[in-house]
Amino acid sequence: MQPFATIALVLILARATTELWLSRLNQRHVRAQTNEVPPPIREIIDEPTYRRSVDYTLAKSRFEDIANLFDAGLLIALLFSGVLAWAFERFSASFSTSILAMAGFLFVTGIALSIPGLPFAWYAQFKLEERFGFNTTTTRTWVLDRMKGFLLAVLLGYPLLALVLKLIEWTGVNWWLWAAALVIAFQLLLLFVAPAIIMPLFNKFTRLPEGVLRERLSALAQCTDFPTRSIQVMDGSKRSRHSNAFFTGFGRFRKIVLFDTLIMQLTERELESVLAHEIGHYKKRHVLKLLGVSIAGVPVAFAAIAWLARQQWFYRAFGFEHQGSLAAANAVPAMLLFALLAGTISFWVSPVVHIWSRRFEYAADAFARAAMGEAQPLIRALRKLSEKNLSNLIPHPLYSSFYYSHPTLLERERALRIAA
Ligand SMILES: [Zn+2]
């Protein structure tokens, strides 16, 4: 085995075993407290709901263990069987190594690699979520969602891939800088148009119906300088009983989206506090800051791909033949292998990213408390959200550091009370 192939194998196994170990740790942590409702959350959740949340957490966790093991096994089989290099050769022989054909190879491979995940996605939606009463997706909606996703990939993903490869021809050694600039421009464009054009392909967005709720939310939006027409209701109930709210987009296209399920579950005062939290994300420019980091990552990724594309050992490790540093066809295996292996590195960075995203949540909570003049409505809203979504209120701290982008309910309540 080539040394780099060994490194790749170690990276894949390290991630898979850590995921499995973290999951076991969390399952044991949850199971150890099933006899009675743990004291810190006794006043938050009743016994039957607590039991259901434990069952839901454990069922999801066991399912994810299987899915993770499957993914790792599939990745190892793909990388070390030589099937990718074989497919690349066959594809180049049949369709040439022109830019359009090479972009086609990346595109077709990407689609092919997404197929094994479909049964898992189907099971998660129609068995697991169904069992706990969350699923409202029909088979028709599920199939249509995937078809729309596929069409978007054809219309947006394929031309982008072709353009990136074309840049190698056009710009030579520094192609990766140009490619990074192109991808960043594409990301920015997407952020502008996604809320206006792409999201409505999947969901209906409507203005809040006239009435007390709209008046109260408008008043809050006005005193926090947020344009009211940007508050919209999304038919989340089309797919699930889970409830949520989020802030998205930029400039003219920015919006705060409230799930219809959330509106059904919360009182007006609680909804106001959730809206205030989302306005907090907007006011404190959290979307911009997150975008800044993801933009900074793009040139780093392309620099890595361009560098790997020049390394003979990288190609040999997975059975590819190297065909001269500046051939577009040469960057294609590097892009593919990079995409397949990136997750084995980014996994270890997730706790750092989560420390950062949790800071944003605390800041948005603090903003909401100040805007509302009290912490209680937000605390009640967060409690209801946890209850209705059967959230695990007592994750193992190490597990939550890897998987939770938000602080837990108890952590948020504590922060809201201390500041009050
Ligand atoms: Zn938030």
Catalytic annotation, pick one of 19, 129, 272, 278: 278
Residue 217: the pLDDT is 87
Residue 418: the pLDDT is 86
CA of 5 to the centre of ligand 1 (A): 40
Are 229 and 207 a contacting pair, CB within 8 Å? yes
Distance between CA atoms of 23 and 42, rounded to whole angstroms? Answer: 24
CA of 278 to the centre of ligand 1 (A): 6
CA of 284 to the centre of ligand 1 (A): 11
Active site residue 71: no
Tens digits of per-residue pLDDT, 103-140? 999 999 999 999 999 999 999 999 999 999 999 999 99
Active site residue 278: yes
Catalytic annotation, pick one of 270, 365, 387, 413: 365
The structure's pTM equals 0.90
CA of 281 to the centre of ligand 1 (A): 7
Residue 39: the pLDDT is 85
Distance between CA atoms of 324 and 269, rounded to whole angstroms? Answer: 64
- Residue 36 exposure: Cα atoms within 13 Å on the Cβ side: 5
The sign of the torsion formed by the CA atoms of 388, 390, 391, 395 equals positive
pLDDT beneath 70, residues of the chain:
323-326, 419-420
CA of 286 to the centre of ligand 1 (A): 9
Are 256 and 232 a contacting pair, CB within 8 Å? yes
Residue 420: the pLDDT is 58
Residue 326: the pLDDT is 60
CA of 149 to the centre of ligand 1 (A): 26
